Amino acid sequence: MEKIGKFIYFIICYAFFIFTDLYLSNILAEKISSGYRLSNDLFSLNYIKNTGAAFNILQNAREMLIILSVIALVLLALYVIKHLKSISLKACFFIAFLSAGIAGNLHERIIYGYVRDYFQLNFINFPVFNISDIFINIGVIALIILILLKKTK
């Protein structure tokens, strides 16, 4: 696929993922705030205002987290642009997935001053998380797998 085609694919994936993230996050936050409750053995919806990062690190370090997020997004975009010729569509997809997750949390930190978390796992002691966090984790895990598979060939 041509470089411009890969770049367009990356942008379309990114736009779709960030729209999905922000749209679903807003729906969940509104539903939970208006009294909607869901709880079962697997998970609960539990609205939390998170002023830090994963696992409650860097609490109240909003400006630093914003800067780190912007740096991560710029580096990911530069990587895609620089490697358009050799990068696979799978890698473009998962970098877009990861970037959308970072951008979703960045958006909430800028707009609200915190990240809205709402998924709580009931079968394990684990921090409450959101859709952006899911995107970030899936993106990172998938990219690690792609890198490992590429190295083993």
Is residue 85 classed exposed, middle or buried when 0-12, 13-18 and 19+ CB atoms within 10 A define those classes? Answer: exposed
Amino acid identity of 67? I
Q: pLDDT tens across 132-152, in order?
A: 999 999 999 999 999 998 877
Predicted pLDDT of residue 153: 64
Catalytic residues: 117, 133
Q: What is the mean pLDDT of residues 76-84?
A: 94
Check pLDDT > 70 for residue 1. no
**Among 6, 39, 143, which Cα is nearest to 47's?**
39
Contacts (Cβ under 8 Å, ≥6 apart) of 21? 100, 101, 103, 104, 131, 132, 135
Predicted pLDDT of residue 68: 95
Q: pLDDT tens across 88-108, in order?
A: 999 999 999 999 999 999 999
Give the model's confidence band at 3: pLDDT under 50 very low, under 70 low, under 90 confident, else very high. confident
d(CA 88, CA 133): 24
Q: What is the mean pLDDT of residues 42-71?
A: 87
Give the model's confidence band at 2: pLDDT under 50 very low, under 70 low, under 90 confident, else very high. confident
